[in-house]
Amino acid sequence: MDRAPQPAGSTRAPWVTVLAGAGISTGSGIPDFRGPNGVWTLDPDAARLLDHDWYVAHADIRRRTWQMWRDNPLWQAEPTPAHRCLVDLERAGALRAICTQNFDGLQQLAGSSPPTVLELHGSITGSRCLSCGATEPTAGILARLDIDPDPHCARCGGILATDVVMFGESLPDGVFDAAVEAASGCEVFVVVGSTLTVQPVASLTQVAADAGARVVVVNAEPTPYDHLADLLDRRPISDALPDLVRELLAG
């Protein structure tokens, strides 16, 4: 997506790419994974529920994973001001892309157009058979867990899993290339609510910095890429990100 030329002497908002981590959704009641009170911080063994090899090998892990998805608060969650302010950025024509590590769909629910949201770690709304690739909505699988706690494919009998990317799986086809393009072609790269410890997604920060973008990190805790940041903001995301967007839109 190319920005239209601006008249000489005019002011405009900079061309922005956002990298969103779990922290943008904690204000919606969805716990993060690696923060001080994250799911895996408090219970390191819980990470096995999203490990592909463990998931495939152990029926008890699959049952616990499906129960985790059914009980997850994301199904009742609503977007925060942080999600909604990114919609303002898009409507102003200043947003190149939102590269999100989240699978909760809250950015789309806030009003972001699907093409602008690059779901780097997949989505919870769909599921697929790990053997034949048949797909079905996750909601239908969750609805039958009481009678089928370890659901299998109706077509081939293979193991079912959500479209959320597990450890040991590849990112969805083409999505990381699109994120690299968005990071290398922006003027401001905003990291919000990410620990920047998961690769290859965290490396997008370096891509943006190497391309000359101004890097802004909005996160309560330090990250390994803070040394690249032109601005660090440790305030609560629902306060800090709307303030930042207003400043960017002011040109």
Query: Is 21 inside a domain boundary?
Result: yes
Q: How far is it, in rounded angstroms, from Cα 200 to Cα 23?
A: 18
Q: Helix 237-249 crosses helix 81-91 at what angle (to 10 degrees)?
A: 10
Query: Is 1 inside a domain boundary?
Result: no
The predicted pLDDT at position 200 comes to 93
Please tell me whether residues 141 and 215 are part of one structural domain: no
Please tell me whether residues 54 and 92 are part of one structural domain: no
pLDDT band at 2 (very low <50, low <70, confident <90, very high): very low
Please tell me whether residues 200 and 243 are part of one structural domain: yes
- Find the mean pLDDT for residues 226-249: 96
Helix or strand (DSSP H, E) at 165: none
Tokens 């990114």 — which residue?
Answer: 86
Quick one: which of 148, 187, 182 has its CA closest to 70?
148
Please tell me whether residues 181 and 59 are part of one structural domain: no
242: DSSP letter: H
- Give the predicted TM-score (pTM) of the model: 0.87
The predicted pLDDT at position 6 comes to 43
pLDDT band at 39 (very low <50, low <70, confident <90, very high): low
Query: Is 3 inside a domain boundary?
Result: no
Q: Which domain holds residue 245?
A: 12-30+78-123+171-251
pLDDT band at 44 (very low <50, low <70, confident <90, very high): low
Please tell me whether residues 52 and 176 are part of one structural domain: no
**102, 120 Cβ separation under 8 angstroms:** no
Domain boundary among the residues 162, 186, 213 is at: 162
Query: Is 139 inside a domain boundary?
Result: yes
Which residues are catalytically annotated?
Answer: 121
Please tell me whether residues 242 and 200 are part of one structural domain: yes
Please tell me whether residues 42 and 93 are part of one structural domain: no
The predicted pLDDT at position 49 comes to 84
CATH code at position 19:
3.40.50.1220
Summarised one tens digit per residue, pLDDT across range 70-113 is 999 999 999 999 999 999 999 999 999 999 999 999 999 999 99
Query: Is 185 inside a domain boundary?
Result: yes
Considering its fold, how many domains does the chain have in total? 2
Distances (CA, A) of 141 to 224, 226, 242: 38, 41, 37
Q: Average pLDDT, whole number, for the chain?
A: 90
**CB contact set of 29 (below 8 Å; sequence gap of 6+):** 73, 76, 77
CATH code at position 135:
3.30.1600.10
Parallel, antiparallel, or unpaired for β 126-129 and 135-137?
antiparallel
Please tell me whether residues 53 and 133 are part of one structural domain: yes
Domain boundary among the residues 137, 162, 187 is at: 162
The predicted pLDDT at position 41 comes to 54
Summarised one tens digit per residue, pLDDT across range 129-141 is 999 999 999 999 9
Query: Is 2 inside a domain boundary?
Result: no
Query: Is 4 inside a domain boundary?
Result: no
SS3 216: strand
Please tell me whether residues 56 and 95 are part of one structural domain: no
Please tell me whether residues 144 and 203 are part of one structural domain: no
Please tell me whether residues 54 and 158 are part of one structural domain: yes
Please tell me whether residues 119 and 82 are part of one structural domain: yes
Quick one: which of 217, 244, 219 has its CA closest to 231?
217
